[in-house]
């Protein structure tokens, strides 16, 4: 990804980054990517059981959080209380949690928090494409496929995509997605997220994948994205770290920091 944020900092004065979940699959990758960037430096690596006050003591300007849906709100509260900007990849955000973060940020106009369901450029683009296609098709379903160590289902990306499609359908005056099923085994039709069915596959060997399937008269459209390596998320994470310093308040979705 080419950054639309011109580097404002240099190796002499790098952006000081703290990483939460630093020993996890994503956190370890983030530490390596930040260390490899000339204009960024890791000043704190924090994982479960470590003391979070390291972040404030280390003078972190931006915290990157890839932890767990159950702890991310507590981490964000800490960051806001200590005037640290945040770039959050951890999943599990619903409208209520996002509203809470907005409220925390109200008295802190100088602070920015980015919550991004997916940092991979292709995933961001595929969500945009799905948003564009939504009004043209009566029926739509999402299949998200991930590694079997993932804590949550559906994925944050799947839920976010469903929300974007639902908004586009509503704006176009489309009603509920037609479905004639009258008899089903529990779970057979997936979870309904904002009226869109999301099916979650968990399989060893996978990283992160998603298909959005649209169906109309005599045709289907499938929009598929595959993250084959966690490196796919890194350009987006670094872009978010650089860009959030120039933003205030809550930004939901990397697309809002890109020129899409
Ligand atoms: N937005 C995006 O583009 C992406 C988002 N994700 C999301 O990121 C999150 C993490 O994923 P992944 O790296 O695979 O998960 P991992 O389980 O590999 O890593 C999470 C790490 O966070 C640690 N941790 C737990 N609680 C805390 C805490 N309170 N403070 C600091 N560290 C803590 C865990 O420690 P322990 O194991 O000891 O509990 C673990 O080391 C998930 O929600 C996932 O869905 C993942 C990929 C891309
Ligand atoms: O847990 C993961 O791996 C991922 N989580 C995010 C999600 O829940 O959408 C992003 C990506 O799909 C990988």
pLDDT digits (tens, 9 = 90+) for 143-152: 999 999 999 9
- CA quadruple 237, 242, 247, 248: dihedral sign: positive
Asked if pLDDT for residue 120 goes beyond 60, the answer is: yes
Asked if pLDDT for residue 4 goes beyond 60, the answer is: no
Six token digits for residue 166: 């639902």
Percent of the chain with pLDDT over 70: 96
Pocket test for ligand 1, best of 19, 20, 24 (most atoms within 8 A of CB): 24
pLDDT of amino acid 92? 94
pLDDT band at 260 (very low <50, low <70, confident <90, very high): confident
- 144 alpha carbon, closest ligand: 2
Asked if pLDDT for residue 141 goes beyond 60, the answer is: yes
Asked if pLDDT for residue 3 goes beyond 60, the answer is: no
Pocket test for ligand 1, best of 22, 33, 67 (most atoms within 8 A of CB): 67
pLDDT of amino acid 176? 95
Report the separation in Å between the CA atom of 190 and the middle of ligand 1, taken as the mean of its atom positions.
Answer: 25
Q: Closest Cα to atom 17, ligand 1: which residue?
A: 24
Are the C-beta atoms of residues 80 and 72 closer than 8 Å to each other? no
Report the separation in Å between the CA atom of 148 and the middle of ligand 1, taken as the mean of its atom positions.
Answer: 14
pLDDT of amino acid 116? 98
Asked if pLDDT for residue 11 goes beyond 60, the answer is: yes
pLDDT of amino acid 136? 98
Pocket of ligand 2 (CB under 6 A): 91, 117-118, 146, 150, 155-157, 208
pLDDT band at 1 (very low <50, low <70, confident <90, very high): low
Report the separation in Å between the CA atom of 137 and the middle of ligand 1, taken as the mean of its atom positions.
Answer: 36
Asked if pLDDT for residue 29 goes beyond 80, the answer is: yes
Asked if pLDDT for residue 86 goes beyond 70, the answer is: yes
pTM: 0.96
Q: Which residues are catalytic, by number? A: 146, 150
Q: What is the DSSP string of 219-245?
A: EEEEEEEEE-SGGGGHHHHHHHHHHHT
Pairing of strands 208-216, 219-227: antiparallel
pLDDT band at 259 (very low <50, low <70, confident <90, very high): confident
Give the pLDDT confidence of 159-212 residue by residue, as tens digits.
Answer: 999 999 999 999 999 999 999 999 999 999 999 999 999 999 999 999 999 999
Give the pLDDT confidence of 123-140 residue by residue, as tens digits.
Answer: 999 999 999 999 999 999
Distance of alpha carbon 97 from alpha carbon 254, whole angstroms? 18
Per-residue pLDDT, averaged over 229-237, amounts to 98
Pocket of ligand 1 (CB under 6 A): 20-21, 23-27, 46-48, 66-69, 71, 75, 89-91, 116-119, 156, 233
Report the separation in Å between the CA atom of 214 and the middle of ligand 1, taken as the mean of its atom positions.
Answer: 32
Residue 147 marked ligand-binding: yes
Question: Phi/psi of residue 224, each to 5°?
Answer: -120, 140
Give the pLDDT confidence of 39-74 residue by residue, as tens digits.
Answer: 999 999 999 988 666 788 899 999 999 999 999 999
Beta strands in 160-195 (DSSP E): 191-193
- 29 alpha carbon, closest ligand: 1
Is the ipTM reported for this complex over the cut 0.90? yes
Residue 21 marked ligand-binding: yes
């Amino acid at each position: 990804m080419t950054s639309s944020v011109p580097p404002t900092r240099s190796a002499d004065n790098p952006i000081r980054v703290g990483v939460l979940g630093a020993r996890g699959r994503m956190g370890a990758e983030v530490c390596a990517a930040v260390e490899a960037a000339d204009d960024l430096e890791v000043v704190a690596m924090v994982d479960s059981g470590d003391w979070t006050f390291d972040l404030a003591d280390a003078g972190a300007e931006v915290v990157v959080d890839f932890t767990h849906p159950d702890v991310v709100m507590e981490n964000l509260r800490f960051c806001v209380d200590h005037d640290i900007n945040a770039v959050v990849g951890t999943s599990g955000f619903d409208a209520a949690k996002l509203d809470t973060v907005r409220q925390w940020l109200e008295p802190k106009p100088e602070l920015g928090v980015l919550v991004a369901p997916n940092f991979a450029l292709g995933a961001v683009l595929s969500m945009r494409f799905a948003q564009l296609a939504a009004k043209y098709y009566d029926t739509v379903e999402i299949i998200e496929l991930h590694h079997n160590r993932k804590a949550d289902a559906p994925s944050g990306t799947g839920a976010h995509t469903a929300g974007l499609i639902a908004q586009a359908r509503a704006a176009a005056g489309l009603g509920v997605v037609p479905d004639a099923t009258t008899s089903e085994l529990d779970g057979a039709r997936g979870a309904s997220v904002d009226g869109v069915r999301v099916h979650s596959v968990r399989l060893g060997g996978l990283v992160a994948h998603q298909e959005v399937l649209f169906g109309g008269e005599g045709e289907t459209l499938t929009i598929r994205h595959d993250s084959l390596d966690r490196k796919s998320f890194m350009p987006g994470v670094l872009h978010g770290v650089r860009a959030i310093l120039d933003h205030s308040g809550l930004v939901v979705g990397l697309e809002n920091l890109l020129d899409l």
